[in-house]
């Protein structure tokens, strides 16, 4: 195994993305997370990343919102989330996640289009040696 400083985000990121739009109802966004057994959805508008909604956000939604309220994702998403590039070193991204207490970092291309996401689970899989090795 190479040192973690030699590994790039592209190797560990998940590219099977689940997205919602800012005007998606929170209950529909919750269904996306549950149906796909994931803990975050990227919020995309006109192909560009504008936010992220995570399971942690749903704690606030439940605390502040009436069940089945006509509430949209935009109200609770993290706007303009910190992102990574595919060629960023995973060690730097891991440090950012620790500094901010993040569990998810969207990966975008030069135009701000989401191409992946890297999560704490991806790091755990890498460290445990269970992540698939990309060419």
pLDDT tens digits for 3-32? 556 789 999 999 999 999 999 999 999 999
Residue 47 has pLDDT above 70, yes or no: yes
Give residue 135's pLDDT band: very low, low, confident or very high (50, 70, 90): very low
Task: Let me know: does 53 contact 20? Beta carbons within 8 Å.
Answer: yes
What is the average pLDDT score of the chain?
A: 90
Helices (H) and strands (E) in the chain, counts: 5, 6
- C-alpha–C-alpha distance, residues 92 and 106, integer Å: 14
Distance between the two ends of the chain, CA-based, in angstroms? Answer: 14
**pTM metric for this prediction:** 0.86
Annotate 83-101 with DSSP letters as a single string. Answer: -B-TTSBHHHHHHHHHHHT
Q: Which residue has the higher pLDDT, 37 or 7?
A: 37
Write down the pLDDT at residue 36.
Answer: 96
Give residue 60's pLDDT band: very low, low, confident or very high (50, 70, 90): confident
Write down the pLDDT at residue 67.
Answer: 62
Please give the average per-residue pLDDT across 67-81, as a whole number.
87
């Amino acid at each position: 195994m190479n040192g973690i400083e030699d590994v790039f985000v592209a190797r560990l990121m998940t590219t099977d993305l689940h997205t919602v739009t800012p005007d998606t109802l929170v209950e529909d966004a919750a269904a996306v997370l549950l149906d796909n057994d994931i803990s975050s959805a990227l919020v995309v508008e006109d192909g560009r990343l504008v936010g992220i909604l995570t399971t942690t956000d749903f704690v606030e939604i439940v605390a502040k919102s009436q069940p089945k309220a006509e509430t949209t994702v935009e109200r609770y998403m993290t706007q303009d989330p910190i992102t990574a590039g595919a060629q960023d070193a995973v060690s730097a991204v891991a440090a950012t996640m620790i500094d901010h207490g993040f569990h998810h970092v969207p990966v975008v291309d030069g135009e701000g289009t989401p191409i992946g996401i890297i999560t704490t689970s991806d790091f755990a899989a890498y460290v445990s040696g269970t992540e698939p090795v990309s060419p």
